Chain A
Amino acid sequence: MINYSVDLNNIVKYFGRRLIFNGINFNFSSQNIYGISGPNGSGKSTLVKIIACLISSTRGKVIHKSDGNIIDPDALHNYLGFVSPYLFLYDEFTAEENLNYFSSIRGLKFDREYSNFILDELNLFERRDDLVRGYSSGMKQRLKFAFALIHKPRLLIFDEPTTNLDNEGKEKVYQLIKNEAKKNLVIIASNENSDLGLCSQVIDLGKYKKTV
Chain B
Amino acid sequence: MSLENMRLPTGFDALEPFVDRWAIKGANNRLQQRLNSQESERASFFNIGKDLVPPALELLDQKPLHELDEKEQRLMDLVLSLAHISLAVEIQRDHEPAHAESARHITINRATSDKDTNLCN
**Are A and B associated in one complex?**
no
Which residues of A are interface residues toward B (Cβ below 8 A)? none
Which residues of B are interface residues toward A (Cβ below 8 A)? none
